Homo-oligomer: A and B are copies of this chain.
Amino acid sequence: MKVAFQGETGAFSEEASLALFPESQPVPNPTFEAVFEAVRDGSSDRGVIPIENSLHGSVHQNYDLLREHALIITDEIQLRIRHNLLTVRGSNLENIRAVYSHPQALGQCRDFLRSTLAGVEIISSYDTAGAAKMVAEKNDPQCAAIAGAVAGTEYDLITLAANIESNHQNYTRFLALARSEDERPRAQERDVPMKTSIVYAQQDNVPGSLFKSLAVFALRDIDLFKIESRPLIGSPGKYLFYLDLAGSMSDEPVQNALRHLEEVAASVKILGTYAVGSIMDG
């Protein structure tokens, strides 16, 4: 089984892929679009993408791709994001003159960089694992990367400092995607808590239209895990809603609620039904 992820070998997305599919072969891809495309054309069996981070919020780009593509969500997992300062064997903290990482990781480690590595050059890479790979290839004791522990192991780097992220409440939620015809049968789904993700657009910006759309769930005692409005730029007063609800598409109340939602919303897209994911300390 091949699982497409965005980034280099050793990326957090690869860690999430292996946590979800331990027997699989993760396949690196340069962009999120390439991950969706690899699943769509069958060259990968699954794709794994980040959908929200506890500090940075929803990954709107991946919500847009979910809306544009016919893929469905099959699984989720939450990964604790821990950043480490990695370098080549034989070097140490005093040697470091340049630090490479993904812009978001550099931002998350801003306090560490400002205090412990003040004056050091901070250089952006396209991903954290890619930065680790480059530092390994350069083999320059003055260069370090910020990346996860898996990338350090992958590229045989040593850890100069661990858990250097400013805010330790740093979790990313990843989703696994499949073509709908490839989704595995859910024989046991009645035994585990399930979740269903949808995106919908309001019919009009009239007072109470959001309330009406949420009534379809409340009237059936269906709980919500997530709701987020997103303004549609260029259409003032129009919004998309991201919604995660408790329950499976095979539950009759969920089916009824979504049929009811179609009556009161302009458009509804079901992104998938899947088991509520575990939290993994990366």
> Which residues of A are interface residues toward B (Cβ below 8 A)?
54-58, 60-61, 102-104, 106-107, 110, 121-126, 169, 171, 205-208, 210-212, 214-215, 217-218, 221-231, 233-234, 246
Contacts and interface: CB of A to CB of B under 8 A. Distances in A.
Contacts of A246: 207
Q: For the complex formed by this chain, how many copies does it contain in all? A: 2
Question: Which DSSP category, helix, strand, loop or mixed, fits chain A's interface?
Answer: mixed
Interface centre among A57, A110, A230 (most CB of B within 10 A): A57
A228 to B, nearest CB: 5
Contacts of A230: 57
Given A55-B60, A56-B56, A123-B123, A229 B227 contact: yes
B60 A57 contact: yes
A222 to B, nearest CB: 7
A142 to B, nearest CB: 15
A229 B208 CA distance: 18
Contact of A124 (B56, B122, B208, B211): B122
Contacts of A102: 103
A123 B98 CA distance: 10
17 contacts: A54-B60, A54-B233, A55-B61, A56-B56, A57-B57, A103-B106, A122-B124, A122-B125, A123-B124, A124-B124, A169-B233, A207-B223, A210-B227, A211-B217, A211-B218, A214-B214, A227-B228
Nearest to A224: B210
Nearest to A125: B122
A215 B20 CA distance: 39
What 9 A-B pairs come out closest when comparing CB atoms? A103-B103, A211-B218, A57-B57, A207-B221, A207-B223, A169-B233, A122-B124, A208-B218, A228-B228
Contact of A229 (B104, B169, B207, B228): B228
A144 to B, nearest CB: 14
Contacts of A110: 126
A241 B5 CA distance: 31
B61 A58 contact: no
A202 to B, nearest CB: 10
Contacts of A226: 229, 231
Contact of A211 (B106, B206, B215): B215
A210 to B, nearest CB: 6
